[in-house]
Amino acid sequence: MKIFVLLSRFPYPLEKGDKLRAYNQIKYLSEHNEIHLCALTDISLKPEHIAAMEPFCKSVEVIRLPRFWIFVNILLAFLKGRPFQTGYFYNKSAHRKITSIINEIKPDHIYCQLLRVAEYVRKNPVTKTLDYQDVFSEGVNRRIRTAAFYLKPVLRIEYKRLCKYEREIFDDFDHKTIISKPDRDLIPHPDRDQIEIIINGVDTDFYKPMITNKEYDIVFIGNMGYPPNVNAAVYLVKKILPLVQKQLPETTVVLVGANPHPDVCALKSDRVNITGWVEDLREYYAKARIFIAPMQIGTGLQNKLLEAMAMKIPCITSPLANNALQAKDEEEILIGNSPKEYAGFIVDLLTHPEKSEKIAAKGHEFVKRSYNWKTATDKLESLINKNKTQKV
């Protein structure tokens, strides 16, 4: 089958969750299908980034979104009552280009990732699938509680518009997908049960246990410019770490990930290291005794938890993050509800190596059993083929 894949960001390098999902889905779909990739970007791409996708794609098209027009289109979205998310990524010139590419390729199917790109193809007659991936509206809703007072009115507007848009575009696509059931249950459409759950996976041949010297007690990994990760990093260092250090004063933390926000950079101290972008995340997973993802806001499955568990690192997280993951509390993972609980878990694991090893081993077994990119993408491929059959 000939599949046109439309993304809001180029899927390489793999420093964001949506890119990781797109990269692996394209990789496995390409085994039995002809993939034509079209990705928007607001940054310059290196030749090696594009080259990384060429083995999987018949064609690769990159459409640059000029900074000036991004500002103009955000303003137009505001005036038209559309979400800022769609305004940022929508451009009339890009729309014409995408339509032209589709008409030239004549794909059997269009696969879109995230509602950011839905506007480009929602009225196109070709059969198509939208990967909601996460529930953007709920992600914004959760941010309202912790946002600065001057941002709250803007976020409330965005929340209402996203709810409306998520509902509007539902019927424009033949099939819809999402990462987890808790996210599906939050989509504001009466037929949301029709959305197919396509989980993420983890490459257990790449992310696997490594023997190395432990340099840090705690590691948190993620894009450090992404608001839920910024919030979690601040929560870890300011709320949890002081409680741990009352019992274990020498406890160290490393925060690893691209684009660290100023609030993250401000956390740096003699006991807290901020790395910024690193070439190989595995090195930092392996250097730490414990991985923690104390997510307080945001939606979706945390790929960082899958990676850490695949590397046999004991993991601690929040109920919010585990809703999507579905690991067994106190067997495969530890789930904290307050800074005091998180700190207690950390102290317990650092002072009881046998318990740490047991949680790590069970978590490792859970991920290998439950999260596989090929199995997940096979389900997506079946959905796309079913879509074609229904339209013929």
Domain annotation for the chain: domains and CATH numbers: 2-201+373-391 (3.40.50.2000), 216-370 (3.40.50.2000)
Neighbouring C-beta atoms of residue 48, cutoff 10 Å: 9
Nearest-angstrom CA–CA distance, 94 and 6? 12
Q: Are 191 and 173 in contact (CB under 8 A)?
A: no
Residues 6+ apart with CB under 8 A from 340: 243
**pLDDT for 387:** 52
DSSP bridge pairs for 41 = 64
| Residues paired with residue 37 on neighbouring β-strands, in sequence order | 5, 60
Question: How far is it, in rounded angstroms, from Cα 135 to Cα 178?
Answer: 8
∠ CA 262-266-268 to the nearest 5 degrees? 130
Check whether the bond before 13 is cis (ω within 30° of 0): yes
Give the list of residues 6+ apart from residue 359 with CB closer than 8 angstroms, or none.
314, 315, 331, 332, 333, 334, 349
Do residues 6 and 120 lie in contact, with contact meaning Cβ atoms separated by under 8 Å?
yes
Instruction: Please state, in angstroms and as integers, the Cα–Cα distance from residue 73 to each residue in 112, 122, 195, following that order.
Output: 20, 18, 30
Helix, strand, coil content of the chain in percent (nearest 5): 50, 15, 35
User: Tokens in use for 219?
Assistant: 């590691």
**Whole-number pLDDT of residue 388:** 59
**Which residues does the chain have with pLDDT short of 50?**
389-392
- Tokens representing residue 352 in the block: 């009881």
DSSP 8-state class, residue 180: -
Q: pTM value?
A: 0.86
Q: Helical H runs in the chain?
A: 17-29, 47-53, 67-80, 84-89, 92-105, 118-121, 136-144, 152-168, 181-184, 227-235, 241-247, 262-265, 282-287, 303-310, 319-325, 339-351, 353-370, 373-391
Residue type present at position 248: L
Q: What pLDDT does 392 receive?
A: 39
Determine the 3-state secondary structure of 233 from DSSP: helix
CB burial class (10 A; 0-12, 13-18, 19+) of residue 125?
exposed
With 0-12 CB in 10 A as exposed, 13-18 as middle and 19+ as buried, what is 123? exposed
Check residue 389 and give its pLDDT.
42
109 by DSSP, 3-state: which? strand
The Cα 362–Cα 12 span in angstroms is: 31
> First CA to last CA across the chain, in angstroms?
13
pLDDT in tens, 294-339: 999 877 778 999 999 999 999 999 999 999 899 999 999 999 999 9
The amino acid at residue 166 is E
- Beta-bridge mates of residue 291: 219, 315
Q: What is the pLDDT at residue 17?
A: 87
